[in-house]
Amino acid sequence: MPPVSAPVSPPPRDGEQLAAIDLGSNSFHMIVARYTLGQVRVVDRLRETVRMADGLDGKGGLSQSARERALDCLSRFGQRIRDVPATRVRALATNTVRQLADPQGFLVPAEAALGKPIEVVSGREEARLIYLGVAHAQPPKPGQLRLVIDIGGGSTEFIIGRGMDTLERESLQAGCIASTRRFFPGGKISKKRWKEALTEIAAEFQQFAGQYRALGWQEAIGSSGTNKAIGEICAAMKLTKGAVTAEALPQVRDRLLQAERIDAIDLPGLSSDRRPIIAGGVLVLEAAFEALGLQRLIVSKAAMREGILYDMLGRGSDNDPRDLSVAALTQRYGIDEIQAARVEATALRLYQQVADAWKLDDDDARMLGWAARLHEIGLAIAHSQYHTHGAYVLENSDIAGFSRQEQQVLAALIRTHRRNIPKTAFDALPDRLLLSAKRKAALLRLAVLLHRAHEAAPIPRLELTADSDDLRLVVDRRWIEARPLLKSDLVGEPDDMQGLGIAFKPFVA
C-alpha cells in the first residue's frame, strides 16, 4: 500500500473573502481582503483603540473596563465578517493575552463576540508575522538584510530578515503602554526619570544587540502605530520627511519632556488618541537607536495584520511554514525519520477510515501527521518518560508558524501517545479543540503501538471503524499471532484509552 499523505487544503476560490485580525495590546485591527487571480486585494480595514494593556493589574488579571472595550470591538468586527467562513478567518491575540493568568476566561467570551476562533501567538511568532507583512508591502531587494522594529502596546519585536524569511527574531516586554505605565506612574515625566528608564531598557536590549549588530542590515524599518506616529511628529517638526533619524529623535524627546506631565504633552502631528502612550513609545525607540546604533528608520504602513493575511495563503498548502518547522525540529533532535514516517503513514491510514464518523478535517490530519513525525522528540533527552519530555519541549519552544494553542495540541498528543493518560493532559486546550484532540490522540496511540517493533514490513490488514466514542480495530490473525508483544499491548489498550473517553475494542480476523 502506498504511503498516505495528509490532505492539502485548496487555495481560496477566486473572489473569496479572507479576514485577518490582530488583537494588539493597544489597538485591534482587522483587514478584509478578496482573493483575485492569485492575489489578495484589501477591501476593508477596521481599527479601534482598545488599550487592553491598560487593564492588566500585574497579577494576570484584566479590568472589567478593558474586557468590555475588547468584547465590544470584537462584536463589531464579528458583524463585518459574519458571512466569511471560519476557515478563511484568522484572529491572533498577542502580548496582553499572553500575560493573562486565565487566558480562557477572556478567550471564551471573545470568541463568542467575534463568532470565530481566536489563537494566541508567542512573541517570536508575532515577530515572524510582522516581518512577513512588511516584506510583502515593501518587497526587499535580492540578498538585502533588513531590520524591522515593531513597538506595540505591550511588547516590542526586533527582526532581521532576508527576502520573505526571518533570520533573527526577538520580543521584549517593552511596549508603549507598558513602558509608559512602568516608568511614568501618575503621569509625571522628567529628564531624571527619562534617563533612568532609558538605561534600564537599553540594558534589556543588550541581550541581543551585539548579535544583531554583528549580523548587520542594509535597511531599518519601523512598523505599527507608534513608529508611524513618531515619524509624523518628525515631519511636523520639519526634522525629516517622515523617517525617524538619530538627529531628529532627541529633538522629539526634548520637546516631549517640556510638558512635565503626560496629559500636557504637546507635539506637532500627535493625535489626542496617541498622547497618553507616546512617552513610552519614544523612550523605547530611543533605547533601540542607542543599543543598535541606528541612524535612520523608515516607516512602513504594514504590520502583523498584513502578515497574518499572507500567512493564511501558505497554511495548509505545499508552502505551509509549519512543515518547515517540523522538519527543522526533526533534524535538531535527531528523530528517526524512517520510523516517524511509518507511524505517520499508519496514523493517516487510520484517520482516513474514521474521519467522517469522527468529524475530523484536513487540519486534524495535518496535526496528526506532525505529531507522528515528532512523537519521539523526547528521546533526545532521555528514554525514560520520553513522551513527557517531548510534550514539554513542544509546548515551551518557539516554533515558527504555530500558535500557542496549536503547540498545546501537539504537546497533548505527544504526552498521551503511550502509557497511562493523565487527567490533566488536555487541560490547556480550549473546549472547542478538546474532542478532536482526544480522537487524534487515540489514532496516534494506535499507530505508535502498531509500529513498536520498528518493522519495515507493511501491516497486511488494518480496519478501523468509529461510532461516537466507540472505536473498533480489526487486524490480521496470522500477523498478530506472530507478534505476542504487540498482541499483549492491544489487549491492554482498552483500559488505557478510557482516559480519552473512548471505548476501544481490538479484534482479529
Q: How far is CA 208 from CA 63, 159, 171, 203, in A?
A: 33, 11, 10, 10
Query: What pLDDT sits at residue 6?
Result: 73
Chunked mean pLDDT (size 10), the chain, 509 residues: 61 92 97 92 96 94 97 98 95 97 96 98 97 95 96 97 96 95 95 96 94 97 96 98 98 96 96 96 98 97 94 86 95 97 98 98 96 98 97 96 97 97 95 97 98 93 95 96 94 95 91
In order, the DSSP letters of 352-412 are HHHHHHHT--HHHHHHHHHHHHHTTGGGGT-STTHHHHHHHHHHHS--TT--HHHHHHHHH
Query: What pLDDT sits at residue 169?
Result: 97
* Separation of alpha carbons 316 and 438, rounded Å: 22
Q: C-alpha cell of 115?
A: 463568532
Q: C-alpha cell of 361?
A: 478535517
* Separation of alpha carbons 118 and 22, rounded Å: 10
Judge contact between 12 and 35, C-beta under 8 A. Answer: yes
Q: C-alpha cell of 110?
A: 471573545
First to last CA, the chain: 19
* Separation of alpha carbons 354 and 319, rounded Å: 27
Give the number of other Cβ atoms within 10 Å of residue 424's Cβ.
9
* Separation of alpha carbons 133 and 376, rounded Å: 35
Query: What pLDDT sits at residue 2?
Result: 43
Give the number of other Cβ atoms within 10 Å of residue 224's Cβ.
32
Q: C-alpha cell of 161?
A: 530578515
Convert 328-365 into a string of H (helix), E (strand) and C (coil).
Answer: HHHHHCCCCHHHHHHHHHHHHHHHHHHHHHHCCCHHHH
Judge contact between 333 and 380, C-beta under 8 A. Answer: yes
* Separation of alpha carbons 398 and 395, rounded Å: 9
Query: What pLDDT sits at residue 174?
Result: 94
Query: What pLDDT sits at residue 5?
Result: 65
Q: What are phi and psi of 244, to 5 degrees?
A: -110, 125
Judge contact between 29 and 224, C-beta under 8 A. Answer: no
Residue 48: exposure state from Cβ atoms within 10 A (0-12, 13-18, ≥19): middle
Judge contact between 174 and 207, C-beta under 8 A. Answer: no
The pTM for the full model equals 0.94
* Separation of alpha carbons 291 and 507, rounded Å: 66
* Separation of alpha carbons 151 and 377, rounded Å: 35
Query: CA 1: distance to chain centroid?
Result: 36
Query: What pLDDT sits at residue 4?
Result: 61
* Separation of alpha carbons 134 and 138, rounded Å: 6
Judge contact between 499 and 483, C-beta under 8 A. Answer: no
